[in-house]
A and B are shown apart, each in its own frame.
Chain A
Amino acid sequence: MNKPIVELKNVYKKFNDTTILNNINLKLEAGQFYTLLGPSGSGKTTILRTIAGFNDVTSGEVLFQGKKINSIPPHQRNMNTVFQNYALFPNMNVYENVAFGLRIHKVPEAEIKQRVQEVLHLVQLDNYGDREISELSGGQQQRVAIARAVINQPKVLLLDEPLSALDAKLRKDMQYQLRSLQQRLGITFLFVTHDQEEALAMSDVIFVMNDGKILQQGSPVDIYDEPINHFVAHFIGESNIIPGKMISDFHVEFLGHTFECSDAGIPANESVEVVIRPEDLVIVPVDQGKIKVKVSTQLFRGDYYEIIAFDQQDNEWLIHSTKPTIDDSIIGLTFEPDDMHIMRYNEDEHNFNQRLESYEE
């Protein structure tokens, strides 16, 4: 395992008695794309500002390449930020904005010119040097902000919801561009978003946050397939979450039946929650279904139908199907043991990971 570039150890941040960051621990390794994902107010920006040096911590350590940097001011940290509202300097044109970091570091004029051209090319704004900031579109401003931030060749780039002001199409486009930019530059990105699709599409590792805590970290696939708890399961993608009871390893009971599942390490008879993703449910004739549900409504979503149905215990079921069904009809649903994921109440990440490791090969 590589040595981490940035590390937060037991970081707490309090503003007048309210805890904003609650024991944050994270490690960022070189060249990876990390995402902080969480709802508004969960502390994402605060973490970014802590790493950039704009916030001091109430307790805990901020490390950069193994050295404690708690008291190093922002301008001496080898990291750069793309701000939530871009924060481009209105008194300078595009060229001067991008050149700012080099001017500060007294780089010779000829080199400045060459490097500005390079990064403007990188963000596909080759001939925009003379433009005023007010003459740029949102997407162009965003790219200037990125160019300005990467010109100092930082080890870590911090991006605070850089795409949130863009329309849906441009946003998708920029997701690809950002991801490929990160791969070309090979520097560590810490990207903040509250859009779970964006996080899933772009990241190597996602940190899911809520209320100043990191609830779970892992690859997009891990987090999507094996959410640690109700909050994460709900926040990442859509899911059906049904209360159940563990019978024994690899057996769980819900809706009055016992099903084979792929989870273990949970004491028998413990109450649990069962997660099944809507796209893993297959509609079959009633007699072939593992469970029966009554269709309530269905919506055409373009590439699939979104069907809402209810079982006999009034649990809501969300089903994604390529074919429509009939409203108010009773249908059968089937799923594989692998499609189910069992969550214990109040399990912390450490125990969760250990349990998963104990029975997964």
Chain B
Amino acid sequence: MKKEFKFLYFAPYLLWLLLFVIAPVALIFYYSFFNVNHQFTLNNYITFFTSGTYLTMTANSVWFAFLITAMTLLISYPMAYFITKLKYRNLWILLVILPTWINLLLKAYAFIGLFSHNGLVNQIFNFFGIPAQQLLFTNTSFILVAAYIQIPFMVLPIYNSLLEINPSLVQASKDLGATSWQTFKKIIIPLSIPGIKSGVQIVFIPSLSLFMLSRLIGGNKIITLGTAVEEHFLTTMNWGMGSTIGVVLIISMFIVTILTHTSKKRRVAK
């Protein structure tokens, strides 16, 4: 009786997992073994790992994802830290999260407006006597906008792990003679590593495949894996190759997760 009840309780979640997580992943795996003519083949994988195009694309994606993640972390950590010090920190953190409620496409178009030749940024530049710059369709603007979009996802876990630090640890550190900066380096950063790790996980993977932004803001100069997936599914109709890239992305996600996994190892005194 009790067991059945428990099963009923979990059933919706299991169904959801099956339909929206397991089935799609299985389908991607399945399609990745077929060519355009629906014949079974390993060629998709062979192509991927031997062709210079795909490998450059992968390297590009990883490099840009790394830059975006680093940029996001650089902005988010101090931001999260200062918000924990504020009086109305719940309100501030809400303000940080607020932009995630707005559609990604809308935000992208907003940036196009800001960065365009006659956009606000160039108008401000003009005001200070700086000639109009090509801002849109540059790598810098792509990284900046991507970082902007990812900030809330980085701030939130870091903010939470900072809040979890017992304030008496900070006092103990100062009591033992540490300055605020030493306390920050030796106590606060190490204790907020779990938050940094989950922030990196959440930001790095989607950054590998930001095809919409690389097209709208980056001007499709950098072809990332995400763009390639989109092209294969919608333009060349090579679903097999698209799925293969998908599989590569899924596997790299696992690798990142494993690499950033907190392993509790014992330290040995010197």
Contact = CB atoms under 8 A, between A and B. Distances in A.
B22 interface: no
Interface string A129-167: 110100000000000000011001000000000000000
A104 B266 contact: no
Contacts of A148: 172, 176
Given A75-B175, A81-B171, A85-B166, 20 more contacts: A74-B174, A75-B174, A75-B176, A76-B177, A79-B175, A80-B175, A87-B166, A87-B171, A88-B172, A91-B187, A92-B267, A95-B269, A100-B173, A100-B186, A104-B178, A129-B269, A130-B266, A149-B175, A152-B176, A152-B177
Contacts of B172: 81, 83, 87-89, 148
> Chain A: interface residue count, which band?
20 to 34
Interface string B255-270: 0000000000011111
Contacts, number: 75
Contacts of B176: 75, 80, 100-101, 104, 148-149, 152
A228 interface: no
B191 interface: yes
Interface of B: 166, 168-169, 171-179, 182, 186-187, 190-191, 266-270
A240 interface: no
Contacts of B267: 92-93, 96, 130, 132
Across the A-B interface, the 10 shortest Cβ-Cβ residue pairs: A95-B269, A87-B172, A101-B176, A87-B168, A129-B269, A91-B190, A74-B174, A104-B177, A75-B174, A81-B175
B9 to A, nearest CB: 33
Contacts of B268: 130
Contacts of A54: 171
Nearest to A158: B175
A258 B187 CA distance: 67
Main secondary structure of the interface of B (DSSP, over half): helix
A90 B173 CA distance: 12
Interface of A: 52, 54, 73-76, 79-81, 83-85, 87-96, 100-101, 104-105, 109, 113, 129-130, 132, 148-149, 152
Nearest to B179: A75
A105 B182 CA distance: 11
B144 to A, nearest CB: 33
